[in-house]
């Protein structure tokens, strides 16, 4: 009978323990957790603070008592593992409450320490009204502090998932909240123009967003009363939330002499085994491979952590299953807006020197004649030759989740855009259109690959126009009156065949409409009439998002 000791619960640790018991009824399984809770819903923490999740108990996926009863596990909460003695195959444990220290032996050790919030090194960061959001006690503390002190103004530092979720939560609690982000955009998993949709949405809802700004000093005596920024400006505040992301917690592994990877995460092989043959690691603390590119990455997401824990248990039980990597699929709710991504974005591919093409469509979430339809922006990134899907991003209001899931599946299955054209997806007017948004993006990508249309991005248009290109807006006169790109000539697509003599044949022609469909039709007309023409990706809607 083998003995497996698991350090850390939540996603990876609890998944390892439950799977291992299902595979081996006789194994001795001991789980150590330095906190009170072994399995809780990290991703639900912000929604408990504002009462969206009313019951605290709802965050508890499994209690120690319930998990012991079902899986016959030796679960020891409030117990911190302080040292690994590899040569002796022992760990040193300290009871957090009594300070008692003892040693525990193992045949296999599984490290699931997770990630810890990134805490910027700035004066005042340790004051009592500065909070992280990592566990249930953190959410308890924030909820109690807000309710007890009648907070009216708050500041969130960092525009990642947690930062944006806390922005929504505090806003819904009628707390005037400012989000401070050091880069030019929130949600770095998106490309700039897709994040701009979020920026514009926040502005439309009178929510303060400060980009290219850093907190340099948190001013106040016992409590932060003012956040001083790199620009010299300052924000009055009564509460500060750290939302600048997380970093892997690796000190235990590092002190034990286990190898760390180039990303700073615990180095593991394809079977999630560390540099010690009797020690595995899983979850937010490990360095893994990117499924699309094979590069070394950190992916602090619940889905990959659960999968890794399941695989570790299989490997300890002798089933030898490889972890094939993560593609970083994620989704965010921000009030009424939804943003999602999977695979690689343009910034990442450029940094890696990987060639790619993109297309962008703005389809309706379902049939426009059925009430409640709204528009989404879907960006597809694919290889220039075979059209293999490399990544996708969607920002919209309804139906974003099911489309990103289809595209995430296509990446995992190695599909190309022509395969996506063939997908037969569920259709009825309340749910989709006869051509689903995924199909529509695939057709747009296929047109580019088949050279039925040549495309250009908005960022390239000013230089092209400066060098003599002729810009045409193919929308109606009424649409143009509501906003137009400076310097564009208006020829409605339905009038195009009768107005060909107005268009210079000695210049490159650039076309756009509202979302790209009418200008694509215009491209086909002009191309077959001997013009040199390109379509501007995403139309006027993408132009507005690029600002």
Length of the chain measured in residues: 547
Encoded tokens for 496: 């195009």
| Separation CA 377–CA 400 (nearest Å) | 9
- Strand, coil or helix: what is 279? strand
| Separation CA 134–CA 45 (nearest Å) | 8
Contacts by residues 24-28 (CB-CB < 8 Å, ≥ 24 positions apart)? 24/317, 25/72, 26/1, 27/1, 27/2, 27/3, 27/317, 28/1, 28/2, 28/3, 28/4, 28/74
- If one counts every other C-beta atom within 10 angstroms of the C-beta of residue 159, the result is 28
- Helix axes of 437-449 and 400-413: crossing angle, nearest 10 degrees: 50
Of 43, 492, 513, 544, the catalytic one is 43
CA distances from 84 to 89, 112, 285 (A): 8, 14, 16
Phi, psi of 144 (to 5 degrees): -65, -40
| Separation CA 544–CA 193 (nearest Å) | 9
| Separation CA 410–CA 189 (nearest Å) | 18
| Separation CA 326–CA 402 (nearest Å) | 19
Pairing verdict, β 533-536 and 509-512: parallel
- If one counts every other C-beta atom within 10 angstroms of the C-beta of residue 277, the result is 8
**Cα 495 from chain centre:** 43
Phi, psi of 208 (to 5 degrees): -80, 125
| Spatial CA neighbour of 47 closest among 168, 144, 131 | 168
Query: Which residue shows structure tokens 């824990």?
Result: 309
Encoded tokens for 364: 């309706």
CA distances from 89 to 20, 80, 93 (A): 20, 17, 13
Question: Is residue 513 annotated as part of the catalytic site, yes or no?
Answer: no
- Let me know if 296 is exposed, middle or buried by CB neighbors in 10 A (0-12, 13-18, 19+): middle
Query: Which residue shows structure tokens 């012991």?
Result: 68
| Separation CA 106–CA 91 (nearest Å) | 8
Q: Which helix (H) or strand (E) holds 70?
A: helix 64-71
The set of catalytic residues is: 43
């Amino acid at each position: 009978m083998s003995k497996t000791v698991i350090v850390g619960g939540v996603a990876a640790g609890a998944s390892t323990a439950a799977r291992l018991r299902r595979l081996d009824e006789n194994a001795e399984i001991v789980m150590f957790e330095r906190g009170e809770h072994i399995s809780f819903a990290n991703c639900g923490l912000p929604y408990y603070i504002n009462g969206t999740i009313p019951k605290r108990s709802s965050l508890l996926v499994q209690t120690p008592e319930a998990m012991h009863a079902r899986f016959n596990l030796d679960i020891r909460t409030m117990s911190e593992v302080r040292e690994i003695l590899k040569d002796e195959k022992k760990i040193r444990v300290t009871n957090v409450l009594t300070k008692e220290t003892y040693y525990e032996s193992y045949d296999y050790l599984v490290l699931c320490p997770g990630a810890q919030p990134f805490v910027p090194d700035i004066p005042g960061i340790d004051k009592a009204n500065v909070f992280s959001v990592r566990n249930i006690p953190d959410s308890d503390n924030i909820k109690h502090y807000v309710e007890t002190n009648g907070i009216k103004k708050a500041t969130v530092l960092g525009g990642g998932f947690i930062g944006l979720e806390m922005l929504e939560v505090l806003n819904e609690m009628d707390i005037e909240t400012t989000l401070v982000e050091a880069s030019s955009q929130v949600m770095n998993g998106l490309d700039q123009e897709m994040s701009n949709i979020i920026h514009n949405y926040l502005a439309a809802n009178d929510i303060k967003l400060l980009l290219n700004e850093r907190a340099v000093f948190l001013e106040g005596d016992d409590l932060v009363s003012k956040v001083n920024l790199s620009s010299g400006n300052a924000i009055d505040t009564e509460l500060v939330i750290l939302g600048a992301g997380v970093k892997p917690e690796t000190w235990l592994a590092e002190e034990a002499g286990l190898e760390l990877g180039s990303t700073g995460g615990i180095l593991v092989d394809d079977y999630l085994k560390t540099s010690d043959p009797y020690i595995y690691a899983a979850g937010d603390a490990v360095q893994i491979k990117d499924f699309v590119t094979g590069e070394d990455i950190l992916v602090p997401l619940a889905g990959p952590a659960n999968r890794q824990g399941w695989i570790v248990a299989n490997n300890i039980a002798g089933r030898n299953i490889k972890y094939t990597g993560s593609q970083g699929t994620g989704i965010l709710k921000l009030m009424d807006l939804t943003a999602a991504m999977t695979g690689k974005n343009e910034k990442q591919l450029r940094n890696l020197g990987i060639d790619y093409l993109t297309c962008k469509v703005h389809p309706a979430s379902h049939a426009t004649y059925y009430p409640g339809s709204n528009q989404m922006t879907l960006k597809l990134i694919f290889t220039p030759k075979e059209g293999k899907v490399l990544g996708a991003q969607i920002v919209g209001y309804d139906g974003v989740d099911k489309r990103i899931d289809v595209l995430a599946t296509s990446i995992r299955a190695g599909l190309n855009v022509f395969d996506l054209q063939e997908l037969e997806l569920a259709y009825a007017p309340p749910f989709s259109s006869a051509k689903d948004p995924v199909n529509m993006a695939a057709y747009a990508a296929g047109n580019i690959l088949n050279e039925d249309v040549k495309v250009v991005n908005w960022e390239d248009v000013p230089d092209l126009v400066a060098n003599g290109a002729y810009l045409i807006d193919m929308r109606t006169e009424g649409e143009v009156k509501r906003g137009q790109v400076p310097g564009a000539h208006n020829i409605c697509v339905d009038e195009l065949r009768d107005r060909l003599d107005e268009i210079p044949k000695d210049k490159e022609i650039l076309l756009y409409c509202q979302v790209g469909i009418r200008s694509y039709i215009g491209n086909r007309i002009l191309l077959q009439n001997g013009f040199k023409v390109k379509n501007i990706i995403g139309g006027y809607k993408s132009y507005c998002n690029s600002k």
